[in-house]
Amino acid sequence: MLALKGYCKNCGTPLIAETGTSHTGAKHCYYKCSARKKDSRACDAPAWRKEAFEHLVAQHTMEDVLVEDRMNYIAEQMVRIRTKEIADDTDQTYVKKALAENKRKAQNIVRAIENGLMSDDLNDRFSALSEERADLEARLALTTIQRPPLMFAQVMFWLRQFSEGDIADTDFRRHLLGTFVSRIDVSRDEIIVTYNLTENSGSHTSLQMKHAGFEPATT
């Protein structure tokens, strides 16, 4: 779960997952500094029991991110970013302008007909504008489907699915860490967790939290 996110705080190299056997013959999985894996003299970082470490980071995630004020902030930012993305969508902007122009032209024809200026050319032009409007409305609907707006309540509902989850469940823990955790730097004395709060089309908001170190494996 954390092999691509974890780093040794002592030397900066990635953590790798490996399996070892204790003196009792039991097999255990660990996270270990990759530099020390290659050369035991390269770094003095210990190994950490994999499941216990993942459980601890998941617990930190629940307490650091999935609390009411922070969830409110995440929801507000996600709505703001999506709204800006939609506003900056050049294709959608073009279609909306084309629809407004289509409507203006159609209204001019309606006024002309109401004023007694009936002709086959006006009728043909009005029919063409109606067909164009249908095409533009379909195109606008497609851009909206591709990038639908987000509602605050919708995002909060999604976040609460995490806040009410059980970190003892392996699948939930994997989903939780995969969604929110960007990086973990760990040593005997300290764990620094960097979280992704929002990340959309280049817009990125992160949170970094420091916690006490994690007891290394003894077997």
Q: Is the pLDDT of residue 202 over 60?
A: no
Mean pLDDT of the chain: 86
Specify the pLDDT at position 172: 95
User: What would you report as the CA-atom Rg of the chain, rounded to the nearest whole angstrom?
Assistant: 28
- pLDDT tens digit string along 99-137? 999 999 899 888 888 888 777 777 778 888 888 888 888
- Extract the tokens encoding 34: 């990759």
User: Residue 201 — very low, low, confident or very high, per pLDDT cuts 50/70/90?
Assistant: very low
Query: Could you tell me the pTM of the whole model?
Result: 0.70
Q: How far apart are CA 126 and CA 123, in angstroms?
A: 5
Give me the residue label for tokens 């407004």. 100
Let me know how long the chain is: 219
Structure confidence by residue, pLDDT tens digits, 29-85? 889 899 988 888 889 888 888 999 999 999 999 999 999 999 999 999 989 888 887
Q: Any residues with CB less than 8 A from the CB of 199 and at least 6 apart, and which? A: 205
Residue with tokens 């084309």: 98
pLDDT score of 217: 61
Q: Please say if the pLDDT value at position 183 is more than 60.
A: yes
Pairing relationship of beta strands 27-33 and 15-21 according to DSSP bridges:
antiparallel
Q: What is the DSSP letter of 109?
A: H
Structure-block tokens of residue 52 = 């216990």
Q: State the Cα–Cα distance between residues 23 and 40, nearest whole angstrom.
A: 20
Cα 148 to its chain centre, rounded Å, is 15
Q: Pairing state of beta strands 190-200 and 203-212?
A: antiparallel
CA distance 103 to 99: 6
